[in-house]
């Protein structure tokens, strides 16, 4: 849980003593943010323990910024370096009292001597981190499609769950950091790579990047794809603030349907897909049911090109789809 939980009453007292505006002080307290979050959202925003710091800021003027304790923040925007959350000497978490003192409580390493990894400008990690920090500070309200920082994190968390374990879509110019998207990242660098991927999908060149990511997901052989798909569809349906995502997702699904790219058991878990499929295509089972044509006869008609099927391989199965207009016209003449 974050350390900076100064409430409005305490801020008023500090304001009297320091001469600083109480509203400004309260805006820098996590108390103002936490009161708007539920338990699951708190986990998105805050680490359980420890703090992060910038060695260069520590060396310059012993500075520490309140933003750095937020889980999504991995970069010092002043020095363009990754924040550090473990002692380089012994790899233990860093506590606030150790940072104030200037050395690790376990091995006494001088924290300002740590060598942080640099983040190149125009790298997706830098773009995502810099713009999100601006959004939190109220300087970039249009940069994330009009979403608040809390809404961005809710959306990103849901996308983390969809793409967990997938290869990174972006070239971070620092591939040694890791090339996979991870819901549960092991360190600042891994989290920053995952966060940059969500930025790439939702903010940079939307919807083209988002559609590309969906294509990769739908073509994957992930064992939990059905669960993730269902979870994300339910999530989008229950959050009207993300209608721009829902619109592109439905457009993508319609394209999938026109191309026959859906599993044969679609009727068991997706009403939208099923309805659209029935408007556009017959399956072999539909022909057998609707036109009383035997399976052997359907096979012969396909072999002789009287019936022209769209053959699509989905999840190791070959599906046969017959365009309704052309099939109706051909069968009308054939069955006379």
pLDDT digits (tens, 9 = 90+) for 257-282: 777 666 666 666 567 677 777 888 88
- Residue 2: its pLDDT value, please? 47
Answer with the one of 90, 113, 136 that is the final residue of a domain: 113
Q: Is 62 in the same domain as 156?
A: no
Whether residues 129 and 247 share a domain: the answer is: yes
256 conformational bin, left if phi > 0, alpha if psi -120 to 50, beta if neither: alpha
Task: Encode pLDDT of 53-63 as tens digits.
Answer: 999 999 998 88
Domain shared by 152 and 191, yes or no: yes
Domain extent for 294: 280-334
* Structural domain contains residue 320: yes
pLDDT of residue 314 exceeding 50: yes
3-state secondary structure 110-172: EHHHCCCCECCCCCHHHHHHHHHHHHHCCCCCCCCCCCCHHHHHHHHHHHHHHHCCCECCCCC
Provide the token pair at 181.
């998207």
For residue 1, name the pLDDT band (cuts at 50, 70, 90).
Answer: very low
CA dihedral of 143, 149, 152, 153, whole degrees rounded to 10: 150
pTM equals 0.78
User: Where does a domain end: 258, 290, 323?
Assistant: 258
* C-alpha dihedral, 29 to 33 to 35 to 36, nearest 10°: 170
pLDDT > 50? residue 174: yes
Q: Provide mean pLDDT across the span 23-31.
A: 71
242 φ, ψ (degrees, to nearest 5): -110, 30
| Domain end point (choices 113, 136, 171) | 113
Give pLDDT tens digits for 125-152: 999 999 999 998 887 667 788 899 999 9
Residue 43 pLDDT grade (very low, low, confident, very high; cuts 50, 70, 90): confident
**251 shares a domain with 135:** yes
Claim to verify: residue 79 and residue 142 sit in the same structural domain = no
């Amino acid at each position: 849980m974050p350390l900076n939980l100064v409430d409005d009453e305490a801020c008023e007292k500090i304001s009297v003593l320091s001469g600083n505006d109480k509203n400004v002080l309260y805006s820098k307290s996590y108390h103002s943010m936490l009161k708007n979050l539920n338990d699951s959202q708190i986990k998105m925003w805050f680490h359980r323990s420890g703090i992060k710091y910038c060695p260069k800021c520590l060396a310059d003027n012993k500075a520490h910024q309140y933003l750095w304790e937020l889980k999504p923040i991995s970069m010092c925007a002043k020095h363009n370096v990754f924040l550090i959350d473990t002692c380089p000497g012994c790899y233990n978490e860093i506590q606030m009292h150790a940072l104030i003192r200037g050395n690790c409580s376990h091995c006494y390493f001088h924290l300002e001597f740590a060598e942080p990894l640099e983040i190149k400008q125009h790298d997706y990690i830098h773009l995502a981190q810099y713009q999100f920090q601006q959004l939190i500070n109220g300087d970039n309200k249009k940069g994330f499609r009009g979403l608040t920082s809390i809404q961005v994190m809710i959306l990103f968390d849901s996308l983390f769950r969809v793409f967990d374990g997938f290869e990174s879509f972006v070239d971070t110019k620092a591939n040694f950091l890791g090339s996979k998207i991870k819901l549960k990242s092991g360190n600042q660098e891994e989290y920053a790579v995952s966060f940059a991927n969500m930025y790439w999908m939702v903010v940079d060149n939307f919807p083209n990047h988002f559609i590309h990511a969906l294509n990769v997901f739908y073509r994957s052989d992930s064992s939990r794809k059905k669960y993730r798909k269902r979870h994300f569809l339910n999530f989008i349906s229950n959050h009207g603030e993300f209608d721009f995502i829902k619109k592109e997702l439905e457009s993508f699904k319609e394209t999938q349907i026109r191309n026959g790219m859906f599993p044969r058991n679609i009727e068991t878990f997706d009403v939208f897909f099923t309805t659209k499929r029935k408007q556009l295509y017959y399956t072999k089972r539909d022909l057998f049911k609707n036109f009383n044509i035997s399976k052997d006869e359907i096979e012969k008609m396909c072999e002789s090109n009287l019936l022209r099927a769209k053959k699509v391989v989905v999840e190791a199965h070959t599906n046969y789809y017959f365009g309704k207009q052309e099939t109706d016209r051909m069968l009308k003449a054939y069955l006379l």
